[in-house]
Structure 1
């Protein structure tokens, strides 16, 4: 059967899966502590706490970029050498988790940028992927137009700026420009930007790129406060805003199939808990506040598998099965039409053989009558050939439209 004679409606049906694609197929996280020195212990604990949570909810280490400017676990002032805690109970060692994550083979941490590598330049290069060819892929943000990206930052800041290691700072306009470059290069589908610092909400005031959801710990002219200190460690061990985010995620998000919505998470950050006005900016996402609040928390904090694309994949598989069954029916009809005339000419074929001619027709007829499995194989091969031809034609049409 020639492809040009194939029904146009069936070609269009076969081409549909090639033009449809899931809009969200992976989740990535960029977690950044921008402070060094022992008295900023809580900023590293903030970052490691969120790192542990997103790993627990399913984002693998190869899709998490962790930036830590100081190694508090090995600081000479650390009474608990090799450990970092986010609570004075010290029941959870963030640096080397001995709990459920270790049982799953996920204990410990993988730091991508540490010490002097945590700079404004490297952070901007990470977002925009402006690296030399020699830069390791494991230290790149390998996202695309179907990736949701979570960016968390914590440190010391002020009105529209955040300090990096007390030596440089990044402004809200620097971030806005980097996000616009990401949007132009199709490096994300949607993005959640989170920041815990003084006057945090001013850091997303300059954003203008579509698809960005932003939230911060404090409004202009407000401080971001620590939650509590550990007297044995000697410093504060976690900030309030991050503490209550973690409390919500650890108590409400009990599995990778939780159906908790973003609106519930944002509403949990009340003034009584945070002691400042936590903010959220919805207007850059499609549907704005009402639609965004109905989005699942796992759209940004968890693994996308089993959350976004499982249903669509199953439907696509069922569509292809139906198409294949329809093609097999067409093949069976064509087979019956071809074999019917041969059965009528059985006597003529037999007499031809009696006259001394080679009995080729009788051999073919016997195979058609007694070799059902052989014909099924032929029909299956023909169906696969038709599918292959339809796929090639669809690709050719796609390229032609792309050129136009």
Structure 2
């Protein structure tokens, strides 16, 4: 098993590149995108996660294999000059269009984030999407929000490094992936 942990200050996904996430006969690709941002001052956090969603969709990842967590408080925010739309570049296209509401508002928690990664059957029984990966699958995780040494912020709570590391090690033990890439975009993400 390969575990690739990528800590990044910013994420850039090439829209016009060859399909880097194409589905292989031996396995599937699973994607978890999470914006921990809340409020208008964190617009860029959610806009970048929405852009990542549009990018992986264009790469051919099936909707059933993409899980999105976002507070979802920007598109109709009274400060938004383009009501119902979110852009991540000046005069850019709407990156919010079609973004699923898998986990929004109070559901954007560290507990749910970890449960999604492990494919928690309780969430699935509630009709929620989870990562149902196996030993031949690729898993891509992109998390963006604020952070500090040893933790990242969610709208109401923190995800601590030891909790995340424990979950990733357990996924490895349980053979939940052949490859895993984790992009973490937060202050102090490398500490």
Fold match (TM-score > 0.5): yes
Aligned-pair distance for 1:141? 1.1
Partner residue of 1:192? 181
Aligned-pair distance for 1:51? 0.8
Partner residue of 1:94? 95
Q: CA RMSD in A?
A: 1.7
* Greater percentage in helix: 1
* Greater percentage in strand: 2
Aligned-pair distance for 1:170? 0.8
Structure 1 stretches of 4+ with a deviation exceeding 4 A read none
Aligned-pair distance for 1:146? 1.1
Q: Greater CA radius of gyration, 1 or 2? A: 1
What secondary structure sits across from 1:73 in the alignment?
A: coil
Structure 2: where are the runs of 5+ without partners?
1-23
Structure 1: where are the runs of 5+ without partners?
1-21, 97-107, 203-404
Q: Is 1:113 the equivalent of 2:115? A: no
Q: Is 1:31 the equivalent of 2:33? A: yes
What secondary structure sits across from 2:67 in the alignment?
A: strand
Q: When the two structures are superposed, what TM-score results if normalisation uses the length of structure 1? A: 0.40
Partner residue of 1:154? 144
| Deviations, residues 214-242 of structure 1 (Å, cap 9, x unaligned) | xxxxxxxxxxxxxxxxxxxxxxxxxxxxx
Q: When the two structures are superposed, what TM-score results if normalisation uses the length of structure 2? A: 0.82
Question: Pairwise mapping of residues 11-160 of structure 1 onto structure 2 (< 5 A)?
Answer: 24-90=26-92, 92-96=93-97, 108-132=98-122, 134-136=125-127, 139-160=129-150
Partner residue of 1:230? none
Distance 2:44 2:26 in 1: 33
Aligned-pair distance for 1:139? 1.0
Aligned-pair distance for 1:134? 2.4
In the superposition, relative to structure 1, how do residues 197 and 30 fare at CA in structure 2: closer, same or farther (>3 Å)?
same
What is the aligned residue count? 167
Choose between structure 1 and 2 for higher RCO, CA contacts under 8 A separated by at least 6 residues: 2
In the superposition, relative to structure 1, how do residues 191 and 23 fare at CA in structure 2: closer, same or farther (>3 Å)?
farther
Distance 1:25 1:139 in 2: 18
